[in-house]
Structure 1
Amino acid sequence: MIKRLFPHPWLSLVLAIIWLLLVNDVSPGQVLLGALLGWLLSLKIGERLWLRPMELRRPDLVAQLGGRVLYDIVHANVEVAALVLGPMRRMQPAFIQVPLDLEHEMALTALISIVSLSPGTLCAELSNDRRVLLIHVLNLRDEAQLVDTIKSRYEAPLKEIFVCLPS
């Protein structure tokens, strides 16, 4: 019964606090109005905003992936600097498509962030069915190798870290 009335209590609280910050008044009437607005908005839009339930597993892998990403960013900075400072004819920009196995929104967001943070690559589009990621590459040498690198270095650990739970 309580869960049906307050399906997203944290969202309701945050919305109420935002209301109070916007009106810059903590009078009893504004607190009541903020609570009412927070509750109503969370009922109406909460399901559309809320992510599917997930469990964050393997904290050791999170640290390992973070270190790998930092190393790859530094390495890519050096490669891009050498590429940009060299002759322009050496650059081979291209778009590639990476098929995805990730399901959870947070895992997809993490992968897109990782790829976009690395100099020389930028995520251009995620397909509507969330199964293909279009990536722009500044200098493409071997498409199959790059796709395999993204899937093995980033996607595989993210699949182990973010596990979808049944709703």
Structure 2
Amino acid sequence: MIRRIFPSPLLSLALVALWMLLNSSFGLGQWLMGLMLAWLVPYLTHSLRPTPVRFSHPMTAMRLFLRVGKDVIIWNWRVLLGTIAPTDRVPQGGFVVVPLDLRDPNGLAVLAAIMCVIPGTIWSELALDRSALLVHLFDLEDAQSEIDLIKRRYERPLMEIFE
């Protein structure tokens, strides 16, 4: 019954919560507007989602969330120190090709978000067959260790969550 009214109940719940927090008002009009958005946005964007999300292992997801938060803080400092470094110690950026085992489109979308939110990394290109990812790193010292780090810290937990 609830899925007929709200095709994505978790997304709808998140939208209502976000709407209420952003408006700082709990009046009837705000609740009605939040519920309307909670129904309308998932309904209109349903065709944009390639596959249904099969989300499992919430503790792994929480650990990944905390790990990404920690990495954002660490990489902010690394980028800051790299940008104010003397010219003889400026970090040398570069591209690495990360072979992917992750195939779930939702997991790949989360990996793209992670790669773009961490300062110093940019998701550059995904192979057409989804077998490899081109990533640019702000400070590239050892390509293989960076590839292993991406696979271990991000891809492996995402595979556990989405596949």
TM-score (norm 1): 0.67
Q: Trace 1:39-54 onto structure 2 (pairs within 5 A).
A: 49-54=48-53
**Structure 2: which 5+ runs fail to align?**
1-5, 9-43
**Structure 2 partner of 1:129:** 129
**Structure 2 partner of 1:92:** 92
**Structure 1: which 5+ runs fail to align?**
1-8, 12-41
How many angstroms apart in 2 are the aligned matches of 1:136 and 1:88? 21
Ranges of 4+ aligned residues in structure 1 off by more than 6 Å? none
How many angstroms apart in 2 are the aligned matches of 1:120 and 1:98? 16
Percentage of matched positions with identical amino acids: 36
Task: State the 1:54 CA deviation.
Answer: 4.1
- CA root-mean-square deviation: 2.7
Could you report, residue by residue, the CA deviation over 1:23-56 in whole angstroms, capped at 9, with x for unpaired residues? xxxxxxxxxxxxxxxxxxx9xxx77x44224421
Q: Trace 1:6-155 onto structure 2 (pairs within 5 A).
A: 10=7, 49-90=48-89, 91-155=91-155
How many angstroms apart in 2 are the aligned matches of 1:94 and 1:139? 7
The answer on whether the counterparts of 2:100 and 2:131 sit within 8 Å (CA) in structure 1 is: yes
Task: State the 1:89 CA deviation.
Answer: 3.9
Q: Tell which structure's C-alpha radius of gyration is larger.
A: 1
Aligned partner letter, 1:110? V
Could you report, residue by residue, the CA deviation over 1:59-104 in whole angstroms, capped at 9, with x for unpaired residues? 0111110000000000000111001001244321111100111111
Aligned partner letter, 1:123? W
Count of aligned pairs: 127
How many angstroms apart in 2 are the aligned matches of 1:78 and 1:141? 17
Return closer, same or farther for 1:116/1:82 CA change in 2, 3 Å cut-off.
same
